[in-house]
Structure 1
């Protein structure tokens, strides 16, 4: 083969690359040479992914998740016939913050959620761990191939020191459950227990709270709760992510007596909404605890903000309403 003939493929490749660059296949509008230097293949893949229709989760039944429940030794709840959510509350801990003993349902409710897609199962969750447990939990998760996508706190000041770590993985559901079980074994999270036959009373003006927030709450273990989905489809680029994966604004009221409450939870927001929510919460004398992400590749990019305050329950609900209205949530019902 002559030197000239050997050069033809190279020249052809260069021409193809130039054509691709000129057509925007290698880099989008506004990109510079640093984008291409970082890896043209990744740019092409990222742009191609934008044109892929994300897969919705597959409809399932409770029976489909029995192997997961058996592996974990814990029963979950099938939500929307797609997400199997297993509660992992820290009922073993006595956590105090600013003079309040926190009930598990207010701030300490971890979970592992599973959903089937066309080829694999997705795991997402939030584990509540003590500071001494965290290194062992991290090692167990990494050994199982389960990603940690966030590490943060829900409370400003707390005793003992508690951390919340979000997890994500794709694969066989039983293997995913085995990985979660290994992480749980590195903690003192107690075995699953049946829910109480009756809910304890909520010593709050729940009707007034409902009216102020424009939504109906639910009683759960002595806590009055709201879980509000965003009014848009959330994906990771290739999979639709249902709200039951934890992609909601959560607001929890713990009664403190005399219609007073402690509130904790988090707002789910896009970037343009963050400052509006901060301003609305502070106007209502509600403390900002933490601002962070839960996922690595959600679309649109979402931020989560935890908050805390104690006061009259209805007064707190009225202070929360402008912050809710500043985000693109499912519209109020009342």
Structure 2
């Protein structure tokens, strides 16, 4: 309970600070901060946290679970669309269906998942969250997510942008470098400052979420967003979390995986929705509402698992 309260104070405090700053600071500031975190902060943070992470055990199963969660979310969203059409005789527009499926399957396992996993289970198990995100959510969003966007969206598709988003992602390269850098001995002072920089990056990432939320003002698609969040943040973690022991995952490792599965929709869903002309209002509403719902669901998953 003490850990949860401390986490809430940090999460709410930093996100709220970012929310306030997002309303006060010039518009380019959040963009510049996002660029700094994308190109510098997050990659260095990944290298730093990997040095203290435990890579033993079945860690490679983390991305496999991520793909299961993504596919299950997409399948349940498809069932929800068909169920709504059957029971209400109303059919969602194609762009809305695309955003609905995306919001149900891809989670914010990086900017939000990392700090929560670090706070609740420590750096030792950070690699599980990292493998889930880097080798699971990233490709789930920009591979399967793009395929779904092409199916339900329209307009001009810039495939080079999507390809670049995957293969020129500095976080992915730092992930590989961090695995090699684990074996390098560095001075204690450098290790200290590297660690402090990494934690500062976590704080800035949470503030950036607040800044972005300060600009999300659309709630017109709340019913559809509520359904997608029920799938993404309740059904998928509950179903897959209950069978994790079958994969040999228990204790802190299972907790990390469940927390990652229970994250709200990723900002990548909004990027994809805008790129492929899906329902932007639904993507925006799911992002904002999901960040609030997390405060309720987080203690549930920690209690159950």
Structure with greater helix share of residues: 2
TM-score, normalisation: structure 1: 0.23
TM-score, normalisation: structure 2: 0.25
The higher relative CO (CA closer than 8 Å, separation ≥ 6) is in 2
